[in-house]
Amino acid sequence: MRILIITPYYSPDLGPSAPLFKMLSTCLVARGHQMTVIVAVPHYPSGQIPKEYKKWKIQRSYEDGVEVIRVPLPSLDRAKMTNRMIQFICYQIGATWEGLNRNYDAVIATTTALSVWLPYACLAVLRRIPSIYSVHDLYPDIGVSLGIFKNKVVIKAVASLEGYCLRHAQQVRILSDSYRPGLHQLGVPDSKMVLIYDWVDTDLIHPIPQENPFSKGNGFSNHFIVLYAGNIGLSQGLEIILVAAEMLADQPDIKFIFVGDGSGKESLQSQANLRHLHNVKFIPFQPREILCEVLASADISLVILRRGVGSNSLPSKTFSIMASGRPILVSVDEDSETWKLVKQADAGVWVPPEDPLKLVQAILALKQDKSLRDRLGHNGRIWVEQHHSPQNAAEQFEKLLQTAIQIHTSSSL
């Protein structure tokens, strides 16, 4: 098959989906398919464009057999919603223009419609090409719950764009069964939804010693490291970590480490400074090549989301932590797919979201029980090896694309 993927984020971008679609595309090439991806130049999460990509022209390359087309964007502060929309619009126009001159048999597009609606409409719907719409977050629900979308007209417009993409897709890929109720409200039947969990590069990320170049270089030796690695945004509610750090200030061997960037980082750093938290350290996003070292530096890794957000989200970092062989401390809604998955794998422990006292108690309990930490970390590693390899994901997407083509052909007769 000739497959076109429409998504703003692709390695070396730092978005959580960027490496996933790099892995998927590469594995589909290995299965004999011709892959083209139309993406934006790297810009996530800050909105700033690296120097080597600041060219106002389409950039084309072949990477591991995948044709990669990068659309230029202005370098803007992504913390401001207006700037995000400008970048979304620039990507959509560039992606649409570039895709019009190409031939392909099927399309995969990723949420949100705010970033892919125009190219999806022009390159899949209007050209009558069978497609899969891959849902990574429920919009407008998540934007409403985070207070990003407040105006009823805006909420209705976002829902309309999402509904358009969902209606016209032959298949809708979901990464969590918890998405089903929200998608029902947007008119998507169960028969159209297919669950494919996210995947992780189990070769790149694997258990290595805690004492490694990254941990040594950052002075982590002889400390108990509680790590949050990933996007520092609005949905996580990471302030709870600062409260926990303040409560544990009398235990100087416990260090709280943030590795990442995002729209919420500046505020979080300011709060840490105001609280005089010497047991908290912020480190920028690290190159993907040393992600294994970053994750291995932890004694405990955190997956945290605000109350009400976790029910409709399954952070991809969960799989990376499991692959690293480290225990997960999950602070999300108890009925969330994230906790169900971690519980099923027996790879971590749960505390209620936005409850710093319970978070502190869980940290201390895990600190005192190394055998439990080792067991949970080992279980997580075994689980992702068996269920979440990129090769497994590529096989599932291949079947999904074949089904989409069959559905489209049948409906055209």
pLDDT of residue 262: 85
Poorest-pLDDT segment among 214-218, 263-267, 380-384: 263-267
DSSP 360-377: HHHHHHHHT-HHHHHHHH
Band of residue 310 on the pLDDT scale cut at 50, 70, 90: low
Task: Give residue 172's Cα distance to chain centre.
Answer: 18
298 pLDDT higher than 90: yes
Give residue-wise pLDDT tens across range 101-128: 899 999 999 988 889 999 999 999 999 9
The pLDDT score that the predictor gives to residue 396 is 95
Q: Considering the chain, what is the average pLDDT of its residues?
A: 92
| Contact by Cβ (8 Å): 149, 158 | yes
pTM (whole model) above 0.85: no
Strand ordering across the sheet containing 280-283: 280-283, 254-259, 224-229, 300-304, 328-331, 348-350
Read off the pLDDT of each residue in 68-78 and give the average, rounded to a whole number.
Answer: 94
pLDDT of residue 142: 65
For 193-216, write each residue's pLDDT tens digit. 999 989 999 999 999 999 999 999
- Structural domains in the chain, CATH included, are 2-199+389-412 (3.40.50.2000), 213-387 (3.40.50.2000)
What local confidence, expressed as pLDDT, does residue 345 receive? 96
Hey, what are 192's tokens? 């159209």
pLDDT(144) > 70: no
pLDDT band per the 50, 70, 90 thresholds, residue 314: confident
pLDDT band at 308 (very low <50, low <70, confident <90, very high): confident
